[in-house]
Amino acid sequence: MLLTIPDVLTRDQVAYCREIMDRTEWVDGKVTAGHQSALAKNNMQLPEGSPAAREIGDIILNALSANPLFVAAALPLKVFPPLFNRYSGGQSFGIHVDNAIRLMRGSDFRIRSDLSATLFFCDPEDYDGGELVVEDTYGEHRVKLPAGHMVLYPSTSLHEVTAVTRGARVCSFFWMQSMVRDVGQRTLLFQLDATVQQLGAEKGHKDPAVVQLTGIYHNLVRRWADT
């Protein structure tokens, strides 16, 4: 399931984060690539664990924890601290799949990457190219979102970032380990939750059918989730 989550960050938050980024030194993006990814990767990144990356990362994580659409879709158990990349002057990231296990440098924190996320810090008209292209069983999806919007997709997907031929593409990227490992089960839970919320808005959350469906949702989470 590929899902767009709008307005994760406000315009003011985006502007504040961009000010921090613009006064911070960037490094070669290959520092966080695995062996296979490093062959395809050509971009710049904020140094992992730098004060700038930590400050902006905390802003993102706080926003996500208060975003009901993200929580419903990801059912996050652990979220890898957000990283940040910039593409310009023809830079791109060829077709690849994300590493199954992500380890935070200098710590014992690690996650299984069930879901990948890209959060945009510039608008589509600010640059040419730079589309996130995600392949799944339904074909190829090309993603280029307004600043502050985020796309969420399975980490098992083959994906790439096309060459940026004008301007610069600045994004955050990170991974999540979900409480529900199976993507099919996670999708069914997301669809059921959306239905319960819609019926609750129409009939009231005390309606017997809404109460029953809510119970089914939580019993399925109880059956499938690891915590």
- Contact assessment for residue 103 and residue 109, using Cβ atoms and an 8 Å cutoff: yes
**pTM, 2 dp:** 0.93
Q: Does 172 share its domain with 192?
A: no
Per residue in 203-220, pLDDT (tens digit) is 999 999 999 999 999 999
Number of domains in the chain: 2
Shared domain check, 124 and 214:
no
| Whether 188 and 114 share a structural domain | no
Cβ neighbour number for residue 48 with a 10 Å cutoff: 17
How many Å separate Cα 226 from the centre of its chain?
A: 21
213 shares a domain with 172: no
Q: Are residues 146 and 200 in the same domain?
A: no
State whether 78 and 123 are in the same domain. yes
Question: Cα separations (Å) of 101 from 24, 49, 70, 133, 192?
Answer: 28, 18, 21, 22, 29
- Higher model confidence: residue 178 or residue 136? 178
Over the stretch 29-38, which tens digit does the pLDDT of each residue have? 876 655 556 6
Residues 107 and 218 both lie in one domain: no
Alpha-helical runs (H) found in 24-168: 35-38, 51-65, 68-74
> Do 191 and 91 belong together in one domain?
no
The CATH code of the domain that includes 161 is: 2.60.120.620
| 105, 169 Cβ separation under 8 angstroms | no
Instruction: Assign 152 to helix, strand or coil.
Output: strand
pLDDT band at 54 (very low <50, low <70, confident <90, very high): very high
- Is 125 in the same domain as 13? yes
Task: Identify the burial level of 131 via C-beta atoms within 10 angstroms of its C-beta, where 0-12 means exposed, 13-18 middle and 19 or more buried.
Answer: middle
Confidence at residue 138, expressed as pLDDT on a 0 to 100 scale:
83
Token pair recorded at residue 1 = 């399931």
133 & 210 share domain: no
The whole domain housing 138 covers 3-178
CATH of the domain at 190: 4.10.860
Please report the pLDDT score of residue 130 as a whole number.
Answer: 97
Which helix (H) or strand (E) segment holds residue 213: the answer is helix 208-224
Residues 94 and 111 placed together within one structural domain of the fold: yes
Quote the percentage of the chain above a pLDDT of 70.
96
Structure tokens at 213: 């469906």
Same domain, 20 and 128: yes
Collapsing DSSP states into helix, strand and coil, what is residue 2? Answer: coil
